[in-house]
Amino acid sequence: MSKKNRQRRRDGDRKAAKKQQIPFVARPFAGLPAEPDLVAMMQIIPAASMTVRLDADHGGQEVQLVTLLPELARSLKRADGRVLVAMQTTVRSGDASRDVAAALLEALDLEPGTGLAPSGLPEPGERLQDILDPDFTPSIDVRESFDFWLTAEQAEEPEALRIVEDAKEGIAPTVPVPGVEHAYWCRMNGKEFVRWVRGEDEDAFFNAFARIHAARESDLEEGARFLGAFRACGLAIPVWELVPGTEAEELTEPMRAMAQRLEAALADGAPLDAEARRAKAGIISRQVNL
């Protein structure tokens, strides 16, 4: 083969490979009923599981989405046949919904007791929105450990329990705030925080919260100060540092009051005034990573 032909072939291969790239999706879980909790499982919760159901075209069986699997596996089929699919992995194509769906579909064909190791990026294909039963409402189960890795029989084995206990040591205590959807209290480095995955589009949130911040009403309560917010999968996650020793159940009322302020601000369709624009710029410029 001539040098010129080899070059043409390489160029053709590059073009073919480029066609297989997955388009970036800023809000990958949009349209799924559990979108905020899926984002929370991917971004801020150490240990949790969520049962979802495949639609009839994909077998109709129930599988577990989980935060993390041993050795950063993308998915596994436990010895009892239960399929677990990780939300937190090193595989990131730019469309998290496609990544999770690809790992789920591959896991269906695994042998019991085997996992799907981290590998190359998936090709374009079905997303969670294409394979999950839309009539099944999942609910999140926040856990204190990774005991969902184990079957009932494995839970009796000392070595399996040791692995789970070792992994548990890295978990920052995290629990849902009672009565406030998608809000999670946590304790890290001796301090307490609350992170709240908002369901509206991130731009709508930042506009609304800018009004609240400009009015000096962004703290949850006295001593519970607003630290900032970060963006994740197209949603905004505001963060507050709490009064030392605050527990999750103490946040219900102040967070409900904040929800009322947010609802009013979201309903305000007027353009932001100068003070609110400055507040928005400040919030966006100091996005937190917590």
Same-domain check for residues 158 and 207? no
In tens, the pLDDT along 173-215 reads: 999 999 999 999 999 999 999 999 999 999 999 999 999 999 9
pLDDT in the model for residue 21: 85
Same-domain check for residues 125 and 203? no
Instruction: Pick the closest to residue 131 from 98, 85, 109 (CA basis).
Output: 98
Measured between alpha carbons, how far is 8 from 146 in angstroms, rounded to an integer? 51
Same-domain check for residues 182 and 249? yes
pLDDT in the model for residue 113: 95
Task: Please name the residue that has the structure tokens 């996992």.
Answer: 115
In this structure, what token pair is assigned to residue 190?
A: 């001796």
Q: Answer whether residue 2 shows pLDDT above 60.
A: no
Same-domain check for residues 69 and 123? yes
Same-domain check for residues 143 and 203? no
Asked if residue 9 is part of any domain, the answer here is no
Instruction: State the amino acid at position 117 in one-letter form.
Output: A
* pLDDT (mean) for 52-71: 97
Same-domain check for residues 164 and 215? no
Residue of higher predicted confidence among 6 and 96: 96
In tens, the pLDDT along 200-254 reads: 999 999 999 999 999 999 999 999 999 999 999 999 999 999 999 999 999 999 9
Q: What is the CATH number of the domain that holds 241?
A: 3.30.1460
pLDDT in the model for residue 18: 54
pLDDT in the model for residue 119: 85
Task: State the residue range of the domain holding 124.
Answer: 35-168
**How sure is the predictor about 24, in pLDDT bands with cuts at 50, 70 and 90?**
very high
Domains in the chain, number: 2
Residue 178, phi-psi category: left (phi > 0), alpha (psi -120 to 50), beta (remainder): beta
Same-domain check for residues 162 and 72? yes
Same-domain check for residues 95 and 151? yes
Measured between alpha carbons, how far is 9 from 264 in angstroms, rounded to an integer? 60
Q: Answer whether residue 6 shows pLDDT above 70.
A: no
- The percentage of residues in the chain with a pLDDT greater than 90, rounded to a whole number, is 88
CB of 87 within 8 A of CB of 115? no
Measured between alpha carbons, how far is 108 from 63 in angstroms, rounded to an integer? 9
Asked if residue 20 is part of any domain, the answer here is no
Task: Please name the residue that has the structure tokens 């505001």.
Answer: 238
Same-domain check for residues 255 and 271? yes
pLDDT in the model for residue 142: 97
Instruction: State the amino acid at position 141 in one-letter form.
Output: D
pTM (predicted TM-score): 0.90
